[in-house]
Structure 1
């Protein structure tokens, strides 16, 4: 699928699922509390589909898919039939109103736990934290060598690349030195410090990660699979051959192999390939050919595939998966609040905020990586929605909860004038936040580094 169309499609899937679940939380609890629901809408604006349910609620899908709402019977919005007064929202006890408002974010958290639980049940595919460092990067300066396996990051044991990356990303926000322990390809353990304090201020995590230069180690230059009928096989190469050089130029890893084949074949497709086979050196005359791989532009190939990177699949039974899901939900929650706190204090740049465009791009990428990654993505976005909605900003759920807290303390509802003023403030804050997120998304596209 075209990347643009794929991003749009998976964005709609993401928003459709998460908004529906969020609004269903408000709807379900409101009904349980005896409040009459007039409309359940996914999206804003003009309805493109709607029907009236047996309960009298109007269910609709609207044209603008960036949210949704549940409209309840509310005396603040017009006269209420005395017969229906007991089903009106403001007539309910304060605890019922709190439950109804909190249910949306609450259901998002439930969705997050369920998504992570299913992900761990299916098996979360990850890579072992075997890394390398780009030349002249901070990681290289710290002493990271090709093939190093991360053992601890910030004093905490790590077993996967994702686990390592999450810890490193949080440290990047504060730009403070980060201690790591690695085991080299020679089996020797070393203690290193990543000098994150050398990073410039005011950049996002992606830019910091580029400057750090810590990456998964590429596969070794081993022809794990030699495609029958392709140039390498026709020349006599076999699966398991370790490729040493192309036209006399040494090859370090499989990524470099591809680059050297393209560079050499663009001058002449006739290549001299030196390999190591069970300790014996052999040389083959391989004639490369142009081929389109995975609908990409045609390029020079010889028909060999790399060994699979070392996988670390996290798959558990139902009980263990639930424990891991709860732990992951808690960790992501604390990470999010840490990041928000650092942005508020100025330690982290607001460039880390992403909007709809950024979410669409990540949604498409996650969907291409498999169901486990897409479930993880859905869980993370759902958790973010819950946290954002709980912020004490008027017009958000957290703002309403703040009003109810004030009502509990002072013994009477917040005045209508205060609520109207709060709405204006809340709308201004949200517009500012959305504008900043949109600016960041466009900035990343136009100036990616």
Structure 2
């Protein structure tokens, strides 16, 4: 089984999604919002078709889920939600809404870990991104992943992309609340639908984790700091990735993972018995792995993948998602066993508190140092500049042959350094053993 292998999408989604007529779609019962689905439709299909059966889920994954014993399904979730300003002040009550959730989960209960990762879909690009979906780690652990469309920008784009499939969705109260006032309650209600098994094929998670990246982390910070104190808890723990994290000390533990891009000052909150923060040297806010994964989906669903003219070669290849996978496992254990995660060294700064310390190769000092930084073959940083989103992509500049020869007398010397770095990270709890093995395979196969 290879999750990196792309299978013909028609065959894959034909296995994942049922083709029952819309009139046969099941609706969940209370508690929780109303759930309709799984929605019919599979690739290939016409997103502008008149019938929902002839459409397919936006940004449906090309990962070979069927071979891994997983399914992908899409649901509509609806009900009434309360609205809140960004300061937590209530601004509306019992406003009708309808949105969608995408679920990727084990097909059989025996393969389910009991953990569900509920992601607040990121809409910075103007459409829903499953920024924290990483098939290799999710499937390996047997978790369920659920993506929630909570914000107006994402839902409006869905409505335009396929009126047949998404035309009835609305998270603005008919245009009255356009600043995502309903998003906090919509997200938590989707969490309830996961908790009661109505969108997971009856699988009821033991541990429900809310996760969000970048802008989504910022929205979840408002939820945690200003909305949750007056609401009934839904999630057991929260993961904030490449974005801000709450300042409130709540009952639910909080884990923050930042790339080098995101750490701009030496001033940072301390770790506590409810909060943990990790910083990844050389990592980018949006790195190489995510770009490679999304390129064929963008071609399929948006007509082309975006191109960028950055001042330096973009897309750091430090796999921040490996650290995020380890953080999710620690967060799960923190919730289930009360075991606090390990701490991690922070990135180092010069005396001015804003200039990062770097070694002779230009690599950042301090932080979690994966083998791509501790045994480097390229300059990977979190910094870049240029048009559009270039500042989020970091840099990747391969070393020349002279530099490589100076660092590593032979291939065996390089592989030994990779192994030593990743073993240290596994022992520290910053890397899962399976991802260390992945790094070793990559090192052995490198030119």
Pick the TM interval, shorter chain: under 0.3
TM-score in terms of structure 1 length: 0.21
Higher helix share goes to which structure?
1
Larger radius of gyration: 1
Which one scores higher on RCO, CA 8 angstroms, separation ≥ 6? 1
TM-score in terms of structure 2 length: 0.21
